[in-house]
Structure 1
Amino acid sequence: MAEKGEVAMAERTEDAKKASMRTAETLLRLLPLGLCVAALVVMLKNSETNEFGSVFYSDLGAFKYLIYANGVCAGYSLFSAVFTAVPRPFTMSRAWTFFLLDQLFTYVIIAAGAVSTEVVYLAYHGDKEISWSEACGTFGGFCKKATVSVSITFIAVICYISLSLISSYRLFTRYDPPSTHSNKDATEMGGFYG
């Protein structure tokens, strides 16, 4: 009778551990949602008009891409957080789906951050070789908001890298790699295997 009690207690402990892991992953998936929305809103409101002219985020393709990437990544974060929060058995297809999507959106947000960083750098320093002067002396408020948006995006990048590591760890520790050759093929091609 004592063994049944110990087994039941071990099962409850394992269930509690899985629930806390699921909660932690759900929160980690929600964090980039807030960050992406914040970066998106800061950039959407980024414009400046003065006696030298006007500049809007939409004047620069890199900043438009930053907004689109943050919007798409925020949507994915919400979707994946909801999907993670609901307890269901972990299957190989689910593991592969999360792994591939986490990788994809990590690269999307990294690309958006990188190209926007280049534009912000050029705005602050210019490029003397091609006769571009710095623009932040004239449009300082615009540059500050752009820097804030890009900085928030890179914090979201750290979250997506963490999610990518978690999903890859989960996939590659639970499941064996797919077999590419049958035993018959390996026997026939034994010279190639060592």
Structure 2
Amino acid sequence: MEKVGAVAAAGSSPMDTFPARDGEVAGEGGNTCLRTAETLLRLLPMALCVGALVVMLKNSQTTTDFGSISYSNLGAFRYLVHANGICAGYSLLSAIVVAMPRPSTMSRAWTFFLLDQLLTYVILAAGAVSTEVVFLAYKGDQATTWSEACDTFGGFCRKATASVAITFVVILCYAVLSLISSYRLFSKYDAPVGHNSKGIEIAVFHG
């Protein structure tokens, strides 16, 4: 009791000594771990995008009977290259921003939410249209007189398939990042508050 009285006389309370500091340290450690995990998660699609981009850029084949073919001959594959390049750059920049120990603000949460959503749809569109081209290259389309090409350009088709497959892994990464940024944004909004018959505040949710 004498120690408590001495602390009170000095202008502070016993609760200000060590319990709050322990909580603050634990919170900082948890935030650091989460920040590190998100940084690595944002760097992963960058590496995958670069891999898919390089595979497609080197995708060309020449035959003696049917000439040569390159990814640049097909608009869908050019779009795939550009989309992977954009996503790789965004992944690197966003990872750098996330790695910086800055307080999370509403404007920052909105920015990540919108950009993550946008890039997810960009890379999804690239993967979808490229998948259609690869399918036609393997199977052809008799209705439009599109003949099979992979029997002749097998190496070209295999590299294109590998690039598209890597792109779909990137899509999964961006889907996860979109969920994280969505949760981070909408968790900042408080539930609407109402009062019951006793005047006590309660959260109100409308169906």
TM-score with structure 2 length normalisation?
A: 0.83
The match for 1:47 is 60
Structure ranking higher on relative contact order (CA contacts 8 Å, 6+ apart): 1
Paired AA for residue 120 in structure 2? T
The match for 2:50 is 37
* Whole-Å separation in 2 of the counterparts to 1:53 and 1:17: 59
* Whole-Å separation in 1 of the counterparts to 2:76 and 2:25: 51
* Whole-Å separation in 1 of the counterparts to 2:45 and 2:190: 30
Paired AA for residue 153 in structure 2? F
1:127-175: CA deviation from partner (whole Å, max 9, x where unpaired): 0111111100000000000000000000000000000000001101112
Runs of 4+ in 1 over 3 A off after TM superposition: none
The match for 1:130 is 144
The match for 1:151 is 165
2:184 paired with 1:170? yes
Paired AA for residue 87 in structure 1? P
* Whole-Å separation in 1 of the counterparts to 2:156 and 2:189: 49
> Based on CA coordinates, which of the two structures has the bigger radius of gyration?
2
* Whole-Å separation in 1 of the counterparts to 2:116 and 2:144: 38
Structure 1 residue 2, shift from structure 2 partner: 6.8
Q: CA RMSD in A?
A: 1.2
Q: Helix, strand or coil for the counterpart of 1:48?
A: strand
Unpaired runs of 5+ in structure 1?
178-194
Paired AA for residue 145 in structure 2? S
Structure 1 residue 120, shift from structure 2 partner: 0.3
Superposition map of 1:1-194 within 5 A: 1=14, 4-51=17-64, 52-176=66-190
Instruction: Check the 8 A contact 1:95/1:171 in 2, yes or no.
Output: yes
* Whole-Å separation in 2 of the counterparts to 1:2 and 1:118: 65
1:82-126: CA deviation from partner (whole Å, max 9, x where unpaired): 000001010000000000000000000000000000000000000
Structure 1 residue 3, shift from structure 2 partner: 5.7
Paired AA for residue 71 in structure 1? G
* Whole-Å separation in 1 of the counterparts to 2:15 and 2:117: 47
* Percentage of pairs with the same residue: 66
The match for 2:8 is none
Unpaired runs of 5+ in structure 2?
1-13, 192-207
Structure 1 residue 7, shift from structure 2 partner: 1.4
* Whole-Å separation in 1 of the counterparts to 2:104 and 2:27: 15
Paired AA for residue 128 in structure 1? Q
How many residues align? The count is 177
Q: Helix, strand or coil for the counterpart of 1:49?
A: strand
TM-score with structure 1 length normalisation?
A: 0.89
Structure 1 residue 53, shift from structure 2 partner: 1.1
Q: Helix, strand or coil for the counterpart of 2:17?
A: helix
* Whole-Å separation in 2 of the counterparts to 1:8 and 1:19: 16
